[in-house]
């Protein structure tokens, strides 16, 4: 049976053409069939338009067809073709097909159709054509820091309007509750963690290690080199650039047929030995490397030779000197070299076995006077100095005391809970990833923190038992830290938080504000059968520019429980608490100064001078 699409090419990578998703030859057909999927439509076309028997081999039914798409909730079928002639021929054929006696008809293509069907291509053209790939990594690099902060501030004010009730948005309290934006102490080379991919540059020939510029959906799998001459990636740390360049040299060395002929991963063919590199570094310049390869595709002798060469290169004195020169830190060196194997295109499981080639299996990071042990898969904010500024500000806007029980949900390696442990009586963390929980427990132990415990599992499964098992004296003042992944919080968690009246405050930390806007109503709306208990209200919020030169921003919202029956109130940020387990809090004193320049929100509302902190 003939297929709709032409057979894939079996030639080399340079000849594999990833179709550019141009919609100049887009065909829109009204099938009068709202519920059929693309698969069902394909079968119907093949059945209705049988191939000519004399064709050997059977040819594609619709010549020049690039892609086909149909929303099963819409009757319109979209097809993109290589040429106008192919499009016209297909239109004539498809209009001979009918659904329940109603012939398929061609419909006009609107600009909205182009937006919906083009994936990333229309956006690229609207932004000025095929942009410099760096702009995908650092969207705001062309803007001054003042303009970057102003845009992020206006975004956060829009979020505030979305999560506050209308009465608060029109009141001066709206301005008071948004404390401001903290500038990042470091704006260049701040990323302490980066994931790089092996592959081919846009020419389909040059091998590279860096960032993928697009996706197969967009019609490209080209790699933007991490060490591109003359086009520095401003967010990438110098240590990562040094080890990436050295690993690329090793890759080139083993392409020699005499050494195994190992090539980079070809995403089109889904084959190749060298796949990815993950690099972490700490404030001392110590580096952890995790190399991903397809060891199953080579002989044992070749794999042994590769590992030996990696150890030789990255533990050498020459590498230490290069890292020291690049970072300006005498302690800079590769402290951990690991690798793991991956075959095919399936997602890599979190618990994949890693082989330690050199050093320890973890890297120690230093934050707020504490030591944190990180495994390769552990989550840790990419901007360590910015994270420290954020935690200092959290203590200022959240009333923590020696009687507070802190529930750190989605706790990761325990960064937030352990840093705030000196302000509270008890810290309880819940985290899904087992390796992160192990890290958190070791972090508590090596820092001598005895009032913190960590549990492994889903928050929605463990939270009820954790709360109900607390002794009465620990239930009087419970504060929840919510630092969820981009997807946000499970609604069951929000219902439990809402229904437990001893939870007095919630600190919601979001890197993706869509989740914050979606989750807030469950905590702030009037009581319902599903969401019982007195509602919370947003009493303070601030943002931190953890990601300079990008459009991303970290936002923190503090929600305080309202007394039963009370309406929304104006709430000023509370003063910083005194540490519960320390004699002095001088080290956590706020060192930020207010910016004296006035600012205007996206709606023209004048904000206080403290909207941006130095």
521 — alpha (psi -120 to 50), left (phi > 0) or beta? alpha
pLDDT at 4: 60
Please, which residues have CB within 8 angstroms of residue 345's CB and are 6 or more apart in sequence?
270
Angle between helices 145-163 and 513-524 (to 10 degrees): 30
CA dihedral 444, 448, 451, 455 (to 10 degrees): 20
Written in H, E and C, the secondary structure of 182-226 is: ECCCCCCCCECEEEEEEEECCCCCCEEEEEECCCHHHCCCCEEEC
Alpha carbon distance 441, 411 (integer Å): 11
Written in H, E and C, the secondary structure of 364-413 is: EEEECCEEEEECCCCCCCCCHHHHHHHHHHHHHHCCCCCCCEEEEECCCC
Please, which residues have CB within 8 angstroms of residue 226's CB and are 6 or more apart in sequence?
194, 196, 209, 210, 211, 233, 236, 240, 241, 244, 245
pLDDT at 266: 87
Query: Mean pLDDT, 10 residues at a time, over the chain (614 residues)?
Result: 48 38 73 86 81 47 81 86 84 89 88 60 43 68 93 92 73 73 94 94 89 65 80 89 96 93 87 94 96 94 96 97 96 97 75 91 93 88 94 89 92 93 95 88 95 93 88 89 82 89 92 90 89 91 95 94 61 42 38 33 33 34
The answer to whether residues 199 and 264 touch, using CB atoms and an 8 Å cutoff, is: yes
DSSP letter for 594, please: B
For the question of residue 511 being annotated catalytic, the response is: yes
Q: What are phi and psi of 461, to 5 degrees?
A: -90, -35
Provide the residue ranges of all domains of the chain, joining segments of one domain with +.
Answer: 13-126, 145-185+381-569, 193-348
Alpha carbon distance 101, 106 (integer Å): 16
Alpha carbon distance 338, 412 (integer Å): 21
Domain 145-185+381-569, CATH 3.40.50.150 — does that match? Answer: yes
- Number of H-type helices and E-type strands within the chain: 17, 26
**Token pair in block for residue 294:** 């397809």
Which residue has tokens 């504000």? Answer: 513
Cα distances (angstroms) measured from residue 302 to each of 240, 294, 297: 26, 12, 10
pLDDT at 600: 31
Per the residue annotation, which of 167, 251, 511, 520 is the catalytic one? Answer: 511
431 annotated ligand-binding residue: yes
pLDDT at 336: 97
Beta pairing, strands 503-510 & 554-561: antiparallel
Alpha carbon distance 450, 445 (integer Å): 7
The answer to whether residues 388 and 368 touch, using CB atoms and an 8 Å cutoff, is: yes
pLDDT at 51: 56
Cα distances (angstroms) measured from residue 428 to each of 21, 394, 440: 50, 18, 11
Fold that domain 13-126 belongs to in CATH: Alpha-Beta Plaits (3.30.70)
Alpha carbon distance 91, 89 (integer Å): 5
Please, which residues have CB within 8 angstroms of residue 586's CB and are 6 or more apart in sequence?
none
The answer to whether residues 569 and 521 touch, using CB atoms and an 8 Å cutoff, is: no
User: What residues are paired with 482 via a beta bridge?
Assistant: 409, 508
User: What residues are paired with 478 via a beta bridge?
Assistant: 405, 503
pLDDT at 603: 35
Written in H, E and C, the secondary structure of 355-371 is: EEEEECCCEEEEECCEE
381 annotated ligand-binding residue: yes
Alpha carbon distance 356, 354 (integer Å): 6
**Token pair in block for residue 352:** 């994949």
**Token pair in block for residue 526:** 């009037």
Read off the pTM: 0.70
Spatial strand order of the sheet with 105-107 comes to 65-70, 76-81, 26-30, 105-107
Chain CA centroid to CA 424, Å = 31
Rg over alpha carbons for the chain, rounded to the nearest Å, is 28
**Nearest alpha carbon to residue 478 among 548, 400, 540:** 400
**Nearest alpha carbon to residue 547 among 91, 68, 78, 194:** 194
């Amino acid at each position: 049976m003939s297929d709709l699409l032409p057979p894939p090419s079996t030639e080399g990578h340079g000849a594999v053409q990833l179709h550019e998703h141009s919609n100049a030859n887009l065909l829109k057909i009204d099938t009068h069939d709202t519920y059929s999927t693309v698969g069902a439509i394909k079968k119907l076309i093949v059945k209705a338009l049988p191939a000519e028997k004399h064709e050997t081999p059977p040819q594609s039914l619709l010549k020049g067809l690039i892609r086909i798409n149909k929303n099963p909730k819409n009757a319109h079928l979209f097809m993109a073709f290589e040429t106008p002639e192919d499009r016209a021929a297909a239109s004539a054929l498809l209009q001979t097909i009918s659904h329940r006696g109603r012939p398929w008809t061609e419909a006009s293509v609107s600009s909205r159709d182009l937006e919906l069907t083009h994936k990333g291509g229309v956006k690229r053209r609207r932004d000025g054509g095929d942009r410099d790939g760096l702009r995908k990594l650092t969207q705001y690099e062309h803007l001054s820091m003042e303009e970057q902060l102003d845009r992020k501030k206006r975004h956060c004010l829009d979020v505030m309007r979305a999560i506050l009730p209308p009465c608060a948005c029109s009141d001066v309290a709206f301005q008071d509750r948004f404390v401001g934006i903290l500038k990042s102490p470091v704006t260049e080379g701040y990323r302490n963690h980066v994931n790089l991919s092996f592959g081919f540059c846009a020419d389909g020939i040059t091998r590279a290690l860096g960032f993928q510029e697009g996706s197969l959906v967009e019609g490209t799998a080209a790699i933007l080199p991490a060490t591109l001459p003359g086009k520095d990636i401003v967010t990438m740390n110098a240590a990562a650039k040094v080890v990436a360049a050295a690993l690329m040299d090793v890759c080139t060395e083993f392409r020699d047929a005499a050494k195994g002929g190992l090539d980079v991963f070809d995403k089109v063919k889904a084959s190749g030995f060298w796949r990815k590199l993950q690099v972490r570094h700490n404030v001392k310049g110590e580096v952890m490397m995790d190399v991903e390869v397809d060891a199953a595709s080579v002989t044992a002798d070749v794999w042994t030779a590769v590992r030996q060469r990696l150890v030789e290169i990255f533990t050498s004195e020459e590498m230490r000197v290069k890292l020291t020169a690049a970072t300006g830190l005498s302690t800079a060196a590769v402290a951990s070299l690991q690798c793991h194997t991956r075959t095919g295109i399936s997602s890599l499981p979190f618990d994949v076995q890693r082989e330690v080639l050199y050093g320890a299996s973890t890297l120690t990071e230093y934050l707020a006077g504490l030591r944190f042990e990180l495994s390769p898969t552990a989550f840790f904010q990419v901007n360590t100095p910015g994270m420290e500024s954020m935690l200092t500000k959290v203590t200022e806007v959240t009333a923590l005391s020696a009687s507070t029980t802190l529930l750190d949900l989605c706790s990761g390696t325990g960064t937030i809970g352990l840093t705030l442990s000196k302000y509270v009586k008890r810290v309880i963390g819940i985290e899904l990833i087992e390796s992160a929980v192990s890290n958190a427990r070791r972090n508590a132990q090596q820092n001598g923190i005895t009032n913190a415990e960590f549990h492994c599992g889903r928050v929605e499964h463990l939270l009820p038992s954790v709360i109900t098992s607390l002794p009465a004296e620990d239930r009087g003042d419970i504060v929840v830290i919510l630092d969820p992944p981009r997807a946000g919080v499970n609604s069951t968690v929000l219902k439990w938080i809402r229904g437990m009246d001893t939870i007095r405050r919630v600190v919601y930390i979001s890197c993706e504000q869509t989740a914050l806007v979606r989750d807030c109503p469950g905590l702030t709306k009037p009581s319902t059968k599903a969401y019982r208990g007195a509602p919370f209200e947003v009493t303070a919020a601030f943002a931190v520019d953890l990601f300079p030169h990008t459009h991303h921003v970290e936002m923190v919202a503090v929600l305080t429980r309202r007394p039963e029956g009370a309406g929304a109130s104006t709430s000023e940020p509370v003063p910083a608490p005194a540490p519960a387990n320390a004699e002095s809090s001088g080290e956590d004193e706020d060192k930020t100064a207010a910016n004296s320049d006035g600012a205007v929100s996206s709606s023209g509302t004048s904000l206080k001078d403290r909207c941006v902190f130095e």
